[in-house]
Structure 1
């Protein structure tokens, strides 16, 4: 199954899910390489998809499986960090599985991963911090994944 193009409508706010007013970041749980990974920040401002090295090791991967070590990643504030390498992993969001190239980093604050524009565009996802969800279309209809 693949995401498709079309019209996405966002539902009214569910007062039981989202307390008003709020300024919460959009945090999801997604399947990465058959593991449920929690505390994933959806960041449309990031041009890269990042994975915490600790999370990668918890999945059972050794550091030796990483490719292209020591890439310089620059942040919006011009701060830079050096990646430990990159790896391609399948990410499942609902019924859709998309292979994602993750850059491995040592410290993502309290997040296990950051899904940036690469994943958002590949999935054709519309993120909404207001609704605390991402929405996308499949041949079977619209899928809404709610933040945690």
Structure 2
């Protein structure tokens, strides 16, 4: 993303927004003062809300394809640095497979398959488990294991 290798990206079929962690913006040496539309309230499926610091448009390269994406910048996206939601998925015409932990899309040069990695997925799960629990106050369920790709 903008010549910066961003890790811990969640592809979320249920998210209607593309989200970017403010700390990554700082690491990219971009200014948070120039963000558009500050103060938008975002709500999650569990009813939790957060206020966006604003929007930023960044080029996102996936395989050989680069697409400008409008992200809402938030402070507390942990454990993920970026969440790519339905907007990005739609424009890229992505087919996702949760079973294979991959996304696939077509280009003029053929099909591109991008695979997730088990180690970062497990690390993000561990961080989320340490930070909180589900809304019933019980620990989060263990993830199912799939072979590394």
Does residue 58 of structure 1 match 2:30?
no
Q: Structure 1 segments of 4 or more deviating over 3 A? A: none
The CA distance in 2 between the partners of 1:111 and 1:73, in whole Å, is 16
CA drift at 1:129: 1.4
Aligned length: 117
Q: Note the residue ranges of structure 1 that are not aligned, 5 or more in a row.
A: 1-31
The match for 1:8 is none
Does residue 147 of structure 1 match 2:116?
yes
The match for 1:88 is 57
RMSD (Å) for aligned C-alpha atoms: 0.8
Q: Note the residue ranges of structure 2 that are not aligned, 5 or more in a row.
A: 118-149
Does residue 97 of structure 1 match 2:66?
yes
Q: 1:121-132 counterparts in 2 under 5 A?
A: 121-132=90-101
Q: 1:1-148 counterparts in 2 under 5 A?
A: 32-148=1-117
What whole-Å deviation, never above 9, does each CA across 1:48-81 have from its counterpart, x for those lacking one? 0000000011000111121111001111122211
The CA distance in 1 between the partners of 2:3 and 2:38, in whole Å, is 24
> Normalising to structure 2: TM-score of the pair?
0.76
> Normalising to structure 1: TM-score of the pair?
0.77
With CA pairs under 8 Å and 6+ residues apart, which has the higher RCO, 1 or 2? 1
The CA distance in 1 between the partners of 2:33 and 2:48, in whole Å, is 27
Q: Which has the higher helix share?
A: 2
Q: 3-state SS of the aligned residue for 1:37?
A: coil
